[in-house]
Chains A and B, each alone.
Chain A
Amino acid sequence: MSNTDTQGELWEVFIQSKPGQSFKHAGAIHAFDREMAIENARDTYTRRGEGSGLWVVRSKDIVSVTPNEEGYFFDPSNDKVYRNPTFYEMPEGVKHM
């Protein structure tokens, strides 16, 4: 299987649908440079006002958790229940907490 690509690098596209909201992954595009990447992302993923913001990042720069290791990887958070508000006892009748 060939991995050479004459069509530029692969970039991941993230769209913010409204101001104030988180950016959400939409898909990917090909482009040769940053300017072409953001324009291709616009033409491909936001033809109907889907976005108020747009990010592109080279796919190869994305760092991801290795599958099957999520368990170990996220383990440190599991034994710290005191990070959740429901962990704490509160006196009867306390308000605005």
Chain B
Amino acid sequence: MKTSLISQEELLLEFEKKINAEQKIEPLDWMPDEYRNHLIRQMSQHAHSEVIGMQPEGNWITRAPSLRSKKILLAKIQDEGGHGLYLYSAAETLGVSRDQFIQWLHEGKAKYASVFNYPTLTWADMGAIGWLVDGAAITNQVSLQRTSYGPYSRAMVRICKEESFHQRQGYEIMWKMMEGTKDQQEMAQDALNRWWWPALMMFGPHDSDSPRTSNAMKWKIKRETNDNLRQKFINKTIPQAELIGLKIPDSNLVKLSDENYQTSDINWDEFWKVVNGNGPCNEQRLAHHIKYHNEGAWVRESASLSNPK
């Protein structure tokens, strides 16, 4: 093997040359441990978010107000499960098994998006989640299509194609409610009031408080900073709210210019509280995942016994 004759410095130089030339890094390519570990953390967190994110919406499947909306919700949630699978298999190319990823989730060593630790109280929350939570996720994921790790980038391309249906179905729910009775309008506004800030929090801390951002940017794992992406989302979402008569729950909101808005600062105490496990549903979400994972153990076991190889 000639590889053993190449020094670490040379390998790093080669690696960074590729990154700078916008070439993708592939699973068998040499990569610095720090790059690999960052990806393992970020991609598994992303995969877990897709799967845990099925719970708040799953809460409303049996109570969807029509057959049409029930079918849509089922298809949407199935997509999210699919996104989790794309991302797990992409993350597995880094040399960590699926079981390991799930174990880290269950042990609390891996995180998922905090936004899913909020409860879904009314049907309007299905609208707010699709419109705002998927909308924020799309903003982030469109940018990640250009990430430097090949399998991650390809998974993002696939996911982005599916996401626009998610956002549109959510916005349609909100719009229809705003066209409806006064109670329905109030319900939609209440959902926006509760989901607006958690959606803005999805982009993470300010860049100045985000210690891992610099390497991730240098190696092009992340292509845009948290604050940039958040601002993009704010600017495109506020006009959508106004169009259907919803009011952004922020008394200090300022329109700086056309399609450029300034919001109040996020309540970072709440952000860290939820990140650190003390949100309204953290325990419930994880307990649910652990319960059903364990209850499915016998299926995996018997399937592996009957495997003819």
Binding site for B on A (CB under 8 A): 1-8, 10, 26-30, 32-33, 36, 43-45, 47-48, 64, 66-69, 72
Contact = CB atoms under 8 A, between A and B. Distances in A.
B121 interface: no
A2 B97 contact: yes
B300 A8 contact: yes
A1 B95 contact: yes
Contacts of A30: 89, 98
A66 B86 CA distance: 25
B300 to A, nearest CB: 5
A13 to B, nearest CB: 9
13 contacts: A1-B96, A3-B100, A6-B304, A7-B98, A26-B158, A27-B86, A28-B90, A29-B85, A29-B89, A66-B28, A67-B29, A68-B14, A69-B2
Given A6-B304, A8-B304, A44-B85, A27 B79 contact: no
Given A10-B89, A29-B89, A68-B6, A1 B304 contact: no
B304 A3 contact: no
Given A32-B307, A64-B28, A27 B99 contact: no
Contacts of B300: 6-8
B86 to A, nearest CB: 6
Interface of B: 1-3, 6, 14, 26, 28-30, 78-79, 82, 85-86, 89-90, 92-93, 95-100, 103, 151, 154-155, 158, 162, 297, 300-301, 303-304, 306-308
Contacts of A72: 2
A32 B99 contact: no
B30 A67 contact: yes
A44 B86 contact: yes
A40 to B, nearest CB: 8
A47 B75 CA distance: 9
Contacts of A3: 97, 100
Given A8-B300, A32-B307, A68 B98 contact: no
Contacts of B2: 68-69, 72
B99 A47 contact: no
A27 B300 CA distance: 22
Nearest to B85: A44
A72 B3 CA distance: 12
Contacts of A47: 78-79, 82, 162
Given A7-B300, A32-B307, 7 more contacts: A1-B95, A7-B98, A8-B303, A29-B89, A47-B79, A68-B2, A68-B3
B85 A10 contact: no
A67 B307 CA distance: 33
A39 B108 CA distance: 32
B54 to A, nearest CB: 15
A77 B85 CA distance: 39
Contacts of B98: 5, 7, 30
Nearest to A10: B92
A3 B98 CA distance: 9
Contacts of A1: 95-97, 100
From A10, A45, A68, A72, residue with most partner B Cβ within 10 Å: A68
A1 B33 CA distance: 14
A43 B86 CA distance: 12
A27 B78 CA distance: 17
B21 to A, nearest CB: 15
A69 B2 CA distance: 8
Contacts of A45: 158
B74 to A, nearest CB: 12
A69 B301 CA distance: 40
